[in-house]
A and B are shown apart, each in its own frame.
Chain A
Amino acid sequence: MAQLPDQTIHRDPQLFYWILVPITVVMVLTGILRHYASVLLATPSKIIDRPTMKEQRSLIHGQTVRNNHHVLSKKSFEARREVLINAYESGAYLKNGAGKDQAPTNPLTDPGAMDGMMGMMKNNMAMIIPNTLIMSWISAFFSGYVITKLPFPITIKFKSMLQAGVATKEMDPRWMSSISWYFLCIFGLQPVFVFLLGSDNAASQMAQQMGQMGPPPNQPMLGAGPDTNKQFLGEAENIAVIDHYSVLDDVELRLLKGIKG
């Protein structure tokens, strides 16, 4: 197949001032607007009552002791082990006193969990709606012509996506319409947002945000509401089987080796 000659299309220089720059400016501004809107609309973290917090925190305490047992000396670890195992088995931390084997809390009726889910949905909406609006605005006003040329060649398959309003058979896929400029901007403006707004702004890294939504730490747990008593007993067993050693065990030998070398 003969190589297509280099196609140059003579374009009105005003095109840049009226199309390229406005689209870019609008996208930057909506990104900033979205960030500040999410800051203002963020729900304050819910305050949970003390018995629930005691329950959750004591479980976390047990897990932390288990994970970091190596920084404690043997005596302090043993003391913690005694206290924790006794407390877990006697149910001293449970929210409803000694009532064991309770039904797990249903997340749909538990009001705390609903708040967590609403927060996540709000973030998702805040991301999707401005993008959809801008896309429809661009395709309404700026369709039917090509704007600029990509500096590097791409395959013919991209033509249907990137040259939306212009249906020609022979035009180089390097010529782009405004929708493709919009797509380029989405990816390319993320570093700009990071630079302008600091690195945890709401306007950037949209794919990463959509993948990693987690409830903030002060909320009651989401999910199937596992039976807390069983969790405590499991944790007690885990702590009981730890073979303790401490990083302080041979520290004097390491210090001497370090000095000698």
Chain B
Amino acid sequence: MSRQQEREAQIYPIVSEAVIHNTKILTNLQNVTASLFGVAAGILGLESYAGFLFYFAFATLVTFLTYVLRIAPESISAGLPLFDTSRFFRRAVDFWIGAVFSGLPGFILTWTLFYGIVRA
């Protein structure tokens, strides 16, 4: 890291507790909604590709809604461009994609459970 960047990081330091808190909130939300989406997919009787597509579409919707309702008001008023989460999260890919994959096991569990119960 160049000298300039090092000084930048020291003048505006990143507090690790705050980062952990943010990611904790996001993963908690994703886990809960993933389980609920599993229930829905099982009851609807969705099969392989349709089920996964359902999950990814709705998980992305949830992420997008958290962006719009929580991050956008602060971030846009501070002058950052649209869809930029750098004020709250370190990397954009962590926010958009990582959270979606963290809920996947919970989704598969409840999906299998309800699929088996409803579609004998």
Which A residues contact B (CB, under 8 angstroms)?
10-11, 13, 16, 20, 24, 70-71, 147-153, 181, 184-185, 187-192, 194-195, 199, 245, 247, 254
Contact A148 B112 (CB under 8 A): yes
Interface residue stretch chosen among B46-54, B59-67, B70-78, B83-91 = B46-54
Contact A195 B32 (CB under 8 A): yes
Cβ-defined partner of B7 (8 Å) among A11, A150, A247: A247
Contact B109 A194 (CB under 8 A): no
Cβ-defined partner of B106 (8 Å) among A10, A147, A151, A191: A191
Contact B112 A194 (CB under 8 A): no
The complex places the Cα of A245 from the Cα of B10 at a distance, in Å, of 11
Contact B116 A147 (CB under 8 A): yes
Cβ-defined partner of B48 (8 Å) among A152, A192, A245: A152
Which B residues contact A (CB, under 8 angstroms)?
7, 10-11, 24, 27-28, 31-32, 34-35, 41-42, 46-49, 51-52, 102-103, 105-106, 108-113, 115-117, 120
The chain A residue sitting closest to B107, CB to CB, is A188
The complex places the Cα of A11 from the Cα of B116 at a distance, in Å, of 10
Contact B28 A151 (CB under 8 A): no
A181: chain B residues within 8 A (beta carbon)? 112
The chain B residue sitting closest to A149, CB to CB, is B116
Assuming the A-B contacts A151-B41, A152-B51, A153-B48, are A194 and B31 also in contact, with contact meaning beta carbons closer than 8 angstroms in the complex? yes
**Nearest Cβ in chain A — how far from B21, in angstroms?**
10
A189: chain B residues within 8 A (beta carbon)? 109
A254: chain B residues within 8 A (beta carbon)? 11
